[in-house]
Chain A
């Protein structure tokens, strides 16, 4: 079993839809969590950090569930420009970071 797992998708949704991704992790010592966005043939770009209390940034909401060991990303009112691969990353308290393999989102007109 991989340390960090994501549903690869692809998720194909119409503009304006709400879509949610989950990312599960196996190491309970994980301390920090982030979502990154990666466009085709580009580097990953930080989308948002994930805090224990949950956090929101515009149309994006991130949640952490330590008991079930997963993080989630919710995108409301999807835009064409949201089409990308979304990567979660989990960082252990010793600093080691592990990325998931990403979930591909395509938003269609």
Chain B
């Protein structure tokens, strides 16, 4: 089974330029996450989708970041304009959430990430 696919793997841009990241989740997974990870820190949730609905975007800097998940499958995260502080690894993850008896299962599986460098 194919895992989470992300592109591009690396991106170098100058500040004030726009940039977009693409994610294709594991087939059948209803929940999709975008995270940002800085060196030496854990992933920080930016936005979470359940199917095509953004159910948690409280950590998304909405002045410059936007995301969409049309048709509830692929997703795109955009930054416009990029700032120096946006340099980080942007990770996409997906999960299939549900109940097995009384146990909630929602393990997340990550893509390889996009390493963004803003100069």
Closest 4 CB pairs of A and B: A99-B42, A43-B110, A101-B42, A99-B43
A98 at the interface (CB under 8 A from B): yes
* Cross-chain contact B45 with A43 (CB below 8 angstroms): no
A97 → chain B closest CB, angstroms: 6
Task: Contacts A95-B55, A95-B97 given; indicate if A46 touches B107 (C-beta within 8 A).
Answer: yes
Q: Is the interface of B mostly helix, strand, loop or mixed?
A: strand
- B: residues with CB less than 8 A from A are 31, 33, 35, 40-45, 48, 50, 55-56, 91, 97, 103-113
Q: Bound state CA distance, A4 and B43, in angstroms?
A: 12
Residue on B with the closest CB to A8? B40
Query: Cβ of B110: which chain A residues have Cβ within 8 Å of it?
Result: 43-45
Query: Cβ of A8: which chain B residues have Cβ within 8 Å of it?
Result: 40
- A: residues with CB less than 8 A from B are 4, 8, 31-32, 34, 42-46, 49, 51, 87, 89, 91, 94-102
Query: Cβ of B35: which chain A residues have Cβ within 8 Å of it?
Result: 99
* Cross-chain contact B104 with A32 (CB below 8 angstroms): yes
Query: Cβ of A101: which chain B residues have Cβ within 8 Å of it?
Result: 40-42
A67 → chain B closest CB, angstroms: 20
A90 → chain B closest CB, angstroms: 11
Residue on B with the closest CB to A4? B42
Residue on A with the closest CB to B31? A95
Query: Cβ of B108: which chain A residues have Cβ within 8 Å of it?
Result: 34, 46, 89, 97
Query: Cβ of B33: which chain A residues have Cβ within 8 Å of it?
Result: 97
**Extra inter-chain contacts (16) besides given A42-B112, A43-B110, A89-B42, CB under 8 Å:** A4-B42, A34-B108, A46-B107, A46-B108, A46-B109, A51-B103, A91-B106, A94-B56, A95-B97, A96-B45, A96-B48, A97-B45, A97-B108, A98-B45, A102-B41, A102-B42
